């Protein structure tokens, strides 16, 4: 005998987490017999695999996004202290988004992962432009006037 197929039916899968647990259990059983080269397959297994790696991928993608944006901010904004505060703003906004997703009982899935990464992009957009407008102002004016000028240049004009 070269090969065979063994089919099982599972009926107690009530949530995607159950699918992930079932996938781990079947793969653990198959791993006990490496000489038989057992492969487990199920059409919905792609979803289980995706749910299985979504947390590490989310943390990795969030971390890469923050690091890259801080490096870009360091290149374009000539003041490292301002870049540090931009970094703090990005982190606090991302924590706020994660907090609201948890408050609203949103499960971690590809859509919520994209939402968190987009939140980083939106937060850097506002923080970096306002900070750049403030820092790059060549006029010898008070910090309050520099802030007003930065807001006038980058936000809706009040006049």
Which tens digits make up the pLDDT trace of 7-51?
888 777 777 778 888 888 888 998 999 888 888 887 777 777 888
* 48 occurs within a structural domain: no
Q: What is the DSSP letter of 15?
A: S
* 71 occurs within a structural domain: yes
Same domain, 58 and 103: yes
Same domain, 82 and 102: yes
Task: Assess whether pLDDT exceeds 90 at residue 2.
Answer: no
Tell me the pLDDT band of 132, cut-offs 50, 70 and 90: confident
- pLDDT, position 100: 92
Which tens digits make up the pLDDT trace of 67-121?
998 898 888 887 889 889 989 988 998 899 889 989 999 988 888 888 888 888 8
Q: Which of 91, 67, 126, 72 is nearest to 134 (CA)?
A: 126
* 61 occurs within a structural domain: yes
Same domain, 112 and 65: yes
Tell me the pLDDT band of 60, cut-offs 50, 70 and 90: very high
* 49 occurs within a structural domain: no
Q: Which of 45, 5, 3 is nearest to 24 (CA)?
A: 45
Same domain, 34 and 58: no
- pLDDT, position 51: 81
Q: Let me know: does 39 contact 6? Beta carbons within 8 Å.
A: no
| Mean pLDDT, rounded, for 48-55 | 84
- pLDDT, position 7: 83
Q: Let me know: does 124 contact 69? Beta carbons within 8 Å.
A: yes
Same domain, 137 and 95: yes
Gap between the Cα atoms of 121 and 97, Å rounded = 12
Domain of residue 31: give its range. 1-42
- pLDDT, position 52: 82
Same domain, 38 and 62: no
For residues 99, 104, 105, 109, the Cα torsion angle rounded to the nearest 10 degrees is -80
Tell me the pLDDT band of 156, cut-offs 50, 70 and 90: low
Contacts of 94 (CB under 8 A, 6+ apart): 62, 66, 116, 119, 120, 123
Q: What is the DSSP letter of 122?
A: H
Residue 131, token pair as written in the block: 């900070």
- pLDDT, position 57: 92
pTM for the model stands at 0.70
What average pLDDT does the structure give for the chain?
84
Same domain, 67 and 122: yes
- pLDDT, position 155: 64
């Amino acid at each position: 005998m070269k090969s065979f197929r063994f089919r099982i039916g599972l009926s107690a899968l009530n949530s995607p987490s159950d699918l992930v647990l079932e996938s781990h259990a079947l793969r653990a059983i198959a791993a006990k017999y490496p000489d038989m080269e057992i492969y487990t397959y199920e059409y919905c297994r792609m979803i289980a695999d995706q749910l299985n790696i979504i947390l590490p991928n989310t943390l990795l993608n969030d971390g890469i996004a923050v690091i890259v944006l801080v490096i870009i901010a360091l290149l374009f904004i000539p003041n490292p202290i301002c870049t540090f505060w931009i970094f703090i703003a990005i982190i606090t906004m991302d924590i706020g988004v994660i907090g609201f997703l948890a408050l609203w009982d949103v499960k971690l899935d590809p859509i919520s992962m994209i939402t968190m990464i987009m939140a980083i992009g939106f937060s850097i957009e506002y923080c970096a432009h306002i900070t750049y407008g403030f820092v790059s102002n060549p006029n010898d004016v008070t910090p309050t006037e520099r802030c007003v000028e930065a807001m006038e240049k980058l936000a809706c004009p009040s006049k």
